Amino acid sequence: MRALIQRVTEASVEVEGQIIGQTGPGLLVLVCAMQGDDESAADKLAARVAKLRIFRDDQERMNRSVLDTGRSALVISQFTLAADTRTGNRPGFSSAAAPEIGQQLYQHFAESLRKQGIPVETGEFGADMKVRLLNDGPVTIWLDTADRA
């Protein structure tokens, strides 16, 4: 699975003019299930996100995680993280998981974060969403479970 994590002051997601999820200071996590991913990959990614030390400590160093700070996360599905841009000008998305698998793993990922004690709100899988955020730092980190042994 892939995730693009942004440390935010605030973030929200809107569907058809209604805010359906939001967070104050915390994380905006854009997540994509890839072909071959399973619940184990979702759990691994959630554990990495929960422990990722990207919040400032007393010395202003990035040394605290979302768990350490007691902050929350807004989790949004985003299949475009699977974009293959190696050739041509139009991205290909064939490496993304099939929609039904992607939805199940997206929901499993969000639930895995919740089980670790992180308050989580989500977007709506497959919907046309409008995401607003105020990136803090800015801090933006890319994680991919395929990059880890």
Catalytic residue annotation = 78-80
Cis peptide before 91 (omega within 30 of 0): no
The DSSP secondary-structure symbol of 131 reads E
What are the DSSP calls for 76-100, one per residue? EE-GGGG-B-SSSSS-B-TTBPPHH
Q: Give the whole-angstrom CA distance, residue 35 versus residue 91.
A: 16
Q: Give the whole-angstrom CA distance, residue 109 versus residue 86.
A: 28
Q: Give the whole-angstrom CA distance, residue 20 versus residue 2.
A: 23
